[in-house]
Structure 1
Amino acid sequence: MGISNILEPIQIGSMTLRNRVLMGSMHVGFEKLEDGVERLAAFYAERARGEVGLIVTGGAAVCQEGGMGDQYCNVYMDEHIEPLRVITAAVHEAEGKIALQLFHAGRYTNQDATGVESVAPSALQAPINRHKPREMNATDIERTIQSFADGAVRAKKAGFDAVEIMGSEGYLINQFLSPVTNKREDEWGGDFTRRARFGVEVSKRVRAAVGPDFPVIFRMSGLDLVPDSTTMEETLQFAVLIEQAGVSALNVGIGWHESKVPTIAMMVPRGAYVWVAQQVKEAVKIPVIASNRINDLRQAEAIIQEGRSDMVSMARPLLADSQIVRKSREGLFDEVNTCIACNQACLDHIFDGKIASCMVNPVVGREKEWALIPAEVSKKVAVVGAGPAGLEAARVLAERGHQVVIFEKQNQVGGQLNYARQVPGKEEFNETLRYYRAQLDKLGVEVRLETAATADSLSDEGFEEVVVATGVIPRRPEIPGVDLPHVVSYDRVFEKQAKVGRRVAIVGAGGIACDLSHLLVQDQVVSPQSAQYLLEYRILDAKAVHHLQQSGRKVYMLRRGKHVGTGLGKTTRWAVLANLKRHGVEMVTQIDYKEITAEGVIIRNQEEEQLVQADTVIIAAGATSNDSLYHALQGSLPVHLIGGAKEAGELDAKRAIYEGAAVGRAI
């Protein structure tokens, strides 16, 4: 497929961009590190070399009380200009363009980090913050509006090509606009016009400060996804007001951080919110940028071609592959390391106060020290196991010039990624496997499927080093009755080697058990296409179709401990568990297992015994490392242990790929 429309230049104010792909703003947290500015510069320059049209930085605080602390990006003092120049110089040297995002978190601010009291339109505590903000007075409001303008001037002095005003995601400007967070009755709150005033005044003041030619983008909330918040009609009115205030383009954001609706997780269909940008585009004349779950330039091409927006924003896809635009321009779509929206190393890290990286591309944040250097001596290296750890190790080793052979006892590569990709809402894992297959083929890695490697066979074949990535063995707990014929291990279910009945008890309630539950309750009787047909021709109503789309199974997840879904990411766990509850999965915690019988599982719950009836009992109670080959090779060959074989984490692809990348650079 050609992608000519997305690659067309576009004018944003006085700025011409080489294509219509914008790298959306992300907090990556590199500023915390001693050489943070240099790391940020290297990170953004790498994306500029990948030919992205415009980069937008993570939010830069326009005043101390609206930021994320001294360690993060700030633009509220003149002394912040020089460090920012390091970033713009690196991006311009790489022939890219970059905008600084002007940011104020309002009631989302962590005052423990900033050291000052947080402020907001009204003194209402956010559900995701333990501090209640102070209501802003007239002086605070005037000073903050001016702070946005002063920040824009500093950005211009630091060499940025544009600024983006952050008015989305439930931050300060968004808080002024929404009746949920703005309960004021003065000229800054009440009816829509007064609630909109703060965002409009910020836009006008920024435009006046930077002059008529400097590009100013406004990141607006297209959909708050918070009950009783701004209506769509008000949103479109606001877009017109912001256009009239002199901004050059509108970047349409979706959802607040406190929203109970997933907006960027893997379970969200690709491009699910483009319709919002399309409505904004129909209301204004300036360029409009669509965002959220756009991770393929062919998908972006269709959006532009159909006139649904003027540009697309890709944030995390540029973490997963800094070269996505260049590769796509060259038609190398199979070589793109696609963002699968797992959130595990990006958002989860940031919300845990760590540095952001990427599960499928751990080079993120390590651009300086992990530059790929060709091997001084090419060696013959065996990689045993083709799960995520082994695949990444083989890819990096081959790219550095080693002769690599993969041994995999199954009939396909992927290891436990082949389990994950079967789960409804996790189909994106297919993209990771497609990427690895394309890389192994391109780099000439020999893959031997259905072949078990032994210490003797590896020695006989003359391998100089071995990477053991043999994964895990499912753990079988000592429960009376565990050997009964209707008791099966989770791997046999995923591999379609076990029939599963209508009533299911899962022993275990971690990430694997959650995946299994999704798979079992959403094992569809009709396909989405069939469902559409049945609805369109009114053969069945929506309720009947919904009933057909469920498997009809009753699933119980059992756990000795208190919490379900441990090991799931901080930013996605709530959505996963809510989805399971919607599908009727019962989670029974803080129990002891007494016995498995032909009728089900007898558990002890607060000194009472009860039978959880089940036709099938599935064991998903963790795993142990499959490290026997590693021990057998000790003393005969240099051997490296990675992934689940090293530590039996629960489907921990993030650690596995990281360890594969590290060992690939070490040999």
Structure 2
Amino acid sequence: MQILHAGRYGYQPFVVSASPIKSPISPFKPRQMSEKNILETIEDYARCASLSKKAGYDGVEIMGSEGYLLNQFLSRHVNQRTDRWGGSVENRMRFAAEIVKAIREKVGEKFIISFRLSMLDLVHDGNTMQEVITIAQALEKVGVTILNTGIGWHEARVPTIVTSVPRAAFVDYTAYVKQHVSIPVIASNRINMPDTAEEILAAGKADMVQMARPLLADAFWVTKVATNRVDEINTCIACNQACLDHTFKNKRATCLVNPRAAYETELVYVKTKKPKKIAVVGGGVAGMSAATVAASRGHQVTLFEANSEIGGQFNLAKVVPGKEEFHETIRYFKVQIEKTGVDLRLNTRVNREQLEREGFDEVIVATGVIPRQLKIEGSQLPQVLSYAEVLKGAPVGNSVAVIGAGGIGFDVCEFLLKPIHQPQPQPLVDWQREWGIDPQPDYMTEGGLQAPQIEAPIRQVYLLQRKTTPLGIGLGKTSGWVHRAQLKKHAVRMMRGVQYKAVTDEGLWVELNGYDQLLRVDTVVVCAGQESIKDLMPSENEATLANYHIIGGAKLAAELDAKRAIREGAELAAQL
């Protein structure tokens, strides 16, 4: 049981904190806790732990990181008190220490008390590593059983959990703390596969490894590792689109790559008593999801893919810097296709006549999308490319205009900013340098921050959109700010309210604020949406031998949505 008090991160007008300093991610200014408030809260923590023990828990974890209440007391970033609860590190940690003492007194010596300690604040006026060590040692003395790793405050302008963060990026800070305490220490953040976890343990950098999102992605993660079926793991790609982003919208937390997460009693894959002959046309994520679920239920499934490999749009996404984890989803489906006995036919285009001739009972159309073309003067010139052509390696000039500022437009910009031959994933040291993270585990900088060192972009990029709303407004809450920051750091010129006039040998003519303007670019990349490929679908009154269904991008092309595509495939296959 984790015990958490949000402090000034609470999203209601009666929030409290160490000092009355408003959080940049909340509209509410907190009230400074009085001595009476603090003592009452200490007792509240102890009572909660005692109730947890009575309920049968083996232990509790006290959330003291990520910028929540206890972290607000532990760090000068918020704690500007002058009483016994603020000032020196000894005073700032008094609140946390008294909570641990009170809990230990209530629950006895054999009950586990884990403390999630911020080992890298990543905010100005944050703690130094020496202060982290001082706090860790004090917590051990007052009765903490295990130290867990927290990284970064939620308001930090450094990413800590998104897919572009290298695997196990923060484990060296955990290892340094481990050297200075005698209780077990847990590593966390961006550890999603067993080889990474085993390397951490084998190197003695931590005693345990913590995971959360990877177990949403695959509830059988531990079992698969224990039974040497690592290749069958449905890997967390750290997209956050269906877990954390859903949480912030008060929606049920689930998983993009695993639609059964939190829907286990609703989305059930029952073995069929009447096996059918099913054709799935299209080997993108929607088609792969439908094919593997249907086959796992006992249906005879044939998956047709026009290209030489499965993956669909994920084959484009996986080449974008920071999206290397998308390789794992394709790998997972390849294994599932083989394991479930799907008849995979690559390099195979089919029409309705062929499908009818083979006698399929059900046909699932998952043929995906094609990029929408730009319809202005000069749009047929060779310097006008689709996003798909660019991500597949088409030559691009030194100055580029990207039309369309949705998720694909942002991805294309990031792809264009760095050399194609750059190592993937980005080496940890380069990533730390780019985001201004002190790479030294014994950092003396406050919060572990230092000045970012940004490599010059290899080309000038303009990102344009017709709408007057902020660019990237539709990106996820947990990752959108990262993408916007990346483009800003690399001097991408972002323009909104743009009308596209013509492409000429000089560049792209646009209208902005009522005036015509020439962007002298060598290449124009169109990321202005997609169009569904629905050719296989019969008309409403057309008679067919098979039942036809349509899913994924073929059903709805608006802003490609892998979460919806995978879920639609699984839900349809569960019903057939």
Question: Which residue identity lines up with residue 335 of structure 2 in the other structure?
Answer: A
CA distance in 2, matches of 1:290, 1:231: 19
Corresponding residue number in structure 2 for 1:553: 459
Q: Mean Cα displacement is larger for which, 143-152 or 117-126?
A: 117-126
Q: Secondary structure at the match of 1:506?
A: strand
CA distance in 1, matches of 2:21, 2:429: 47
Q: Secondary structure at the match of 1:286?
A: coil
CA distance in 1, matches of 2:505, 2:277: 52
2:425 corresponds to 1:519: no
CA distance in 2, matches of 1:140, 1:631: 68
Q: Secondary structure at the match of 1:283?
A: coil
CA distance in 2, matches of 1:464, 1:393: 15
**Post-superposition offset of 1:651:** 2.6
Corresponding residue number in structure 1 for 2:448: none
Corresponding residue number in structure 2 for 1:613: 520
Whether the aligned pair in 1 keeps the contact of 2:372 and 2:528 (CA below 8 Å) is: yes
Corresponding residue number in structure 2 for 1:641: 550
The one of 419, 429, 437 aligned to 2:334: 437
Q: Across the two proteins, how many residue pairs are aligned to each other?
A: 551
CA RMSD of aligned residues (A): 1.9
**Post-superposition offset of 1:509:** 1.4
2:484 corresponds to 1:587: no
**Post-superposition offset of 1:524:** 4.4
Whether the aligned pair in 1 keeps the contact of 2:166 and 2:426 (CA below 8 Å) is: no
Describe the shift of the 1:525–1:337 C-alpha distance in structure 2 as closer, same or farther (beyond 3 A): closer
Corresponding residue number in structure 2 for 1:101: 2
**Post-superposition offset of 1:194:** 0.7
Whether the aligned pair in 2 keeps the contact of 1:455 and 1:629 (CA below 8 Å) is: yes
Describe the shift of the 1:277–1:269 C-alpha distance in structure 2 as closer, same or farther (beyond 3 A): same
**Post-superposition offset of 1:105:** 0.5
TM-score, with length taken from structure 2: 0.93
Corresponding residue number in structure 2 for 1:422: 319
CA distance in 1, matches of 2:364, 2:95: 58
After superposition, the C-alpha distances for 1:520-575 in whole angstroms (9 at most, x for unaligned) are 111245648999999xxxxxxxxxxx99x766221111111133224321110111
CA distance in 1, matches of 2:383, 2:362: 43
Whether the aligned pair in 2 keeps the contact of 1:523 and 1:550 (CA below 8 Å) is: no
2:498 corresponds to 1:601: no
Corresponding residue number in structure 2 for 1:161: 58
Describe the shift of the 1:130–1:551 C-alpha distance in structure 2 as closer, same or farther (beyond 3 A): closer
Q: Secondary structure at the match of 1:374?
A: coil
2:296 corresponds to 1:399: yes
Unaligned runs of 5+ in 2: 431-452
CA distance in 2, matches of 1:389, 1:415: 9
2:559 corresponds to 1:650: yes
After superposition, the C-alpha distances for 1:400-459 in whole angstroms (9 at most, x for unaligned) are 011111111111100000010000110000000000001101111111111112111100
Question: Which residue identity lines up with residue 559 of structure 1 in the other structure?
Answer: Q
Describe the shift of the 1:335–1:550 C-alpha distance in structure 2 as closer, same or farther (beyond 3 A): farther
Describe the shift of the 1:193–1:530 C-alpha distance in structure 2 as closer, same or farther (beyond 3 A): closer
Whether the aligned pair in 1 keeps the contact of 2:286 and 2:551 (CA below 8 Å) is: yes
Whether the aligned pair in 1 keeps the contact of 2:322 and 2:425 (CA below 8 Å) is: no
Corresponding residue number in structure 2 for 1:449: 346
2:135 corresponds to 1:234: no
**Post-superposition offset of 1:382:** 0.4
CA distance in 2, matches of 1:202, 1:450: 64
Matches within 5 A, 1:54-133: 100-111=1-12, 117-133=14-30
Describe the shift of the 1:527–1:270 C-alpha distance in structure 2 as closer, same or farther (beyond 3 A): closer
The one of 101, 113, 119 aligned to 1:222: 119
Q: Secondary structure at the match of 1:628?
A: coil
CA distance in 1, matches of 2:426, 2:96: 46
CA distance in 1, matches of 2:112, 2:365: 53
CA distance in 2, matches of 1:167, 1:242: 11
The one of 445, 458, 461 aligned to 2:355: 458
CA distance in 2, matches of 1:238, 1:106: 20
Corresponding residue number in structure 1 for 2:472: 565
CA distance in 1, matches of 2:222, 2:328: 17
Question: Which residue identity lines up with residue 597 of structure 1 in the other structure?
Answer: T
Corresponding residue number in structure 1 for 2:399: 503
Describe the shift of the 1:403–1:275 C-alpha distance in structure 2 as closer, same or farther (beyond 3 A): same
After superposition, the C-alpha distances for 1:307-365 in whole angstroms (9 at most, x for unaligned) are 00000011101110111111012111110001110111011111122110000001111
**Moved segments of 4+, more than 4 Å:** 524-534
User: Identity rate of aligned residues, in percent?
Assistant: 49
Corresponding residue number in structure 2 for 1:26: none
CA distance in 2, matches of 1:239, 1:345: 34
Corresponding residue number in structure 1 for 2:43: 146
CA distance in 2, matches of 1:442, 1:550: 46
CA distance in 1, matches of 2:428, 2:60: 44
CA distance in 1, matches of 2:176, 2:532: 52
**Post-superposition offset of 1:584:** 2.4
TM-score, with length taken from structure 1: 0.80
**Post-superposition offset of 1:203:** 0.7
Corresponding residue number in structure 2 for 1:577: 484
Question: Which residue identity lines up with residue 315 of structure 2 in the other structure?
Answer: N
Q: Secondary structure at the match of 2:536?
A: helix
**Post-superposition offset of 1:494:** 2.0
Whether the aligned pair in 2 keeps the contact of 1:168 and 1:220 (CA below 8 Å) is: yes
Unaligned runs of 5+ in 1: 1-99, 535-545
After superposition, the C-alpha distances for 1:618-666 in whole angstroms (9 at most, x for unaligned) are 1110012111212359531211111011111323111111111111101
CA distance in 1, matches of 2:56, 2:132: 32
